């Protein structure tokens, strides 16, 4: 048996058995768990490829790897304690350099993630049992296109670059597909949790007047794939691949605070009930406090999620109130970050978490709201507006009859203006895929504007 730092493989097997038994006893329900031990170089690779053992080649993944490696080697950034992916069996990576107490914490943390992946309703369509196969199949197809002398890497990269740039312009309701919205229908019909309010805001501001019946389509990649007749089959396949992989990762983006909070709550609860000896417990608490420490200049999803789940459970980690325990399992099943924060981030918790709102100006950073009686609700709304897909502007396709095959897009304005630099570059990517002029309507400094891109040239025109 090979000695690895302060532990052996047998140590990990024994601790894993104890952790798994305790996790089941406490009510967690998870896929079969598999662990892989890796060094820092492998972990950097897995982080760059979003945890997938096989994924298609693209320069952005290599760029992410070099960036992470440079930061790590210069001591500017650490590595994740672990990485776990939504597969069945559930696959998690453990860093070989971590000491035994940290490995124990990490394995308990992984079982929390595993339970969340299996039971949260927003992951119900991601087919964890087929995930690894899907990513490998995608990688094989794209490599075949690259090796095809009639296609080649340059042409493949051109399509992938454009598809990546607009991949988040998708239907963000990951549980249900709604029919296209008719502008004359009741405001908000079919637009999901938050977009109804945005559409109502647009109509109230008279930003977009529907002169005739207008239909909105949220899946930009799929719309281009299905309505651009000059795309070749392999190009359509690339758009489908990017869309499918984005749909796989979308639930993880939408549940980051909940998922990390749930895993942290359970590693703390499990290990507090395993009667660790004093030396292990001291190291465990130190690592746990590192996990949930507040982050300077940003939010720590582990901290926020763990604090809320602990409050809901009424738990100190040593004992569980089983009536409240039922409640947290229900929350784990049905919520995502948006609804989780709306329902359970109270004034008391906002103050406990020391949440505040700030604005970055050219000269300074200005605190605009704090979590006091008057300001906590605004702080909460700002937080919700910047988590998951809420952080991305939403652009939809507006179906209109036109003879010149112009792709008409609409920005669902939510009070945040589009950054013109990014809009210009993104419209160029859309123009690349569409092959004809592209127009988008939005608001800038309170005025209606239309931005157009044709043959790679961008311009702004009054609406």
pLDDT at position 49: 85
Per the document, the length of the chain is 463
Give per-10-residue mean pLDDT for the chain (463 aa): 67 96 96 94 86 90 88 73 91 92 95 98 92 95 97 97 96 62 34 35 39 68 94 96 95 96 96 89 92 86 95 72 77 96 95 88 83 90 93 89 83 92 96 95 91 93 74
Q: At what angle do helices 278-292 and 301-313 cross, to 10 degrees?
A: 110
pLDDT at position 362: 79
pLDDT at position 401: 61
Token duo for residue 415: 């009070």
pLDDT at position 324: 64
pLDDT at position 357: 86
Alpha helices in 79-151 (DSSP H): 100-119, 131-147
CB 277 within 8 A of CB 197: no
The closest alpha carbon to 427, from 392, 388, 456, belongs to: 456
Kindly provide the b/e burial profile for residues 21-51, where b requires at least 16 CB atoms within 10 angstroms of the residue's own CB.
ebbeeeebebbebebeebebeebbbbbbbbb
**What is the distance between the alpha carbons of residues 6 and 103, in angstroms, rounded to a whole number?**
10
pLDDT at position 463: 65
- E-strand spans in 112-257? 181-182, 215-217
Output 136-140 pairs: Cβ under 8 A, ≥24 positions apart: 136/53, 136/54, 138/55, 138/56, 138/241, 138/244, 138/245, 139/54, 139/55, 139/56, 139/57
**What is the distance between the alpha carbons of residues 450 and 463, in angstroms, rounded to a whole number?**
6
pLDDT at position 2: 40
pTM: 0.86
> Percent helix, strand and coil across the chain, each rounded to 5?
50, 15, 35
CB 41 within 8 A of CB 99: no
């Amino acid at each position: 048996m090979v000695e690895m730092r302060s532990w052996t493989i047998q140590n990990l097997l024994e601790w894993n058995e104890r952790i798994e038994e305790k996790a089941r006893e406490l009510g967690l329900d998870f896929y079969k768990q598999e662990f892989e031990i890796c060094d820092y170089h492998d972990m950097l690779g897995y982080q760059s490829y979003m945890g997938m053992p096989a994924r298609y080649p693209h320069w952005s993944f290599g760029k992410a790897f070099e960036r992470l490696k440079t930061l790590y080697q210069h001591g500017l950034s650490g590595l994740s304690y672990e990485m776990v992916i939504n597969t069945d069996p559930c696959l998690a990576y453990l860093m070989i350099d971590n000491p035994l107490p940290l490995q124990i914490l990490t394995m308990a943390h992984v079982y929390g993630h595993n339970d969340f992946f299996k039971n949260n309703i927003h992951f119900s369509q991601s087919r964890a049992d087929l995930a690894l196969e899907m990513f490998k199949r995608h990688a094989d197809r794209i490599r075949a296109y690259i090796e095809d002398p009639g296609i080649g890497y340059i042409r493949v990269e051109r399509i992938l670059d454009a598809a990546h740039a607009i991949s988040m312009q998708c239907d963000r309701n990951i549980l249900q597909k709604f029919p296209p919205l008719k502008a004359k229908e009741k405001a908000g019909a079919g637009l999901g949790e938050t977009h109804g309010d945005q559409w109502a805001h647009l109509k109230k501001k008279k930003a977009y007047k529907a002169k005739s019946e207008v239909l909105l389509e949220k899946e930009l990649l799929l719309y281009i794939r299905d309505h651009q007749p000059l795309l070749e089959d392999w190009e359509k396949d690339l758009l489908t691949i990017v869309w499918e992989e984005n749909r796989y990762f979308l639930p993880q983006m939408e549940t980051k605070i909940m998922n990390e909070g749930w895993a942290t709550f359970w590693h703390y609860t499990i290990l507090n009930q395993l009667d660790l000896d004093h030396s292990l417990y001291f190291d465990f608490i130190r690592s746990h406090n590192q996990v949930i420490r507040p982050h300077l200049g940003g939010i720590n999803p582990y901290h926020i999620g763990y604090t809320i789940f602990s409050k809901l459970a009424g738990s100190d980690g040593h004992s569980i109130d089983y009536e409240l325990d039922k409640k947290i399992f229900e929350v784990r099943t049905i919520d995502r970050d948006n609804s989780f924060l709306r329902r359970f981030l109270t004034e008391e918790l906002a103050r406990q978490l020391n949440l505040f709102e700030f604005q970055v100006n050219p000269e300074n950073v200005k605190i605009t709201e704090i979590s006091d009686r008057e300001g906590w609700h605004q702080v909460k709304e700002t937080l919700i507006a910047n988590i998951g897909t809420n952080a991305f502007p939403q652009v939809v396709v507006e179906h209109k009859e036109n003879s010149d095959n112009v792709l008409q897009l609409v920005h669902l304005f939510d009070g945040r203006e589009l950054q013109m630099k990014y809009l210009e570059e993104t419209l160029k990517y859309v123009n690349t895929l569409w092959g004809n002029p592209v127009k988008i309507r939005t608001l800038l400094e309170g005025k209606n504007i239309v931005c157009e891109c044709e043959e790679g040239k961008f311009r702004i025109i009054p609406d």
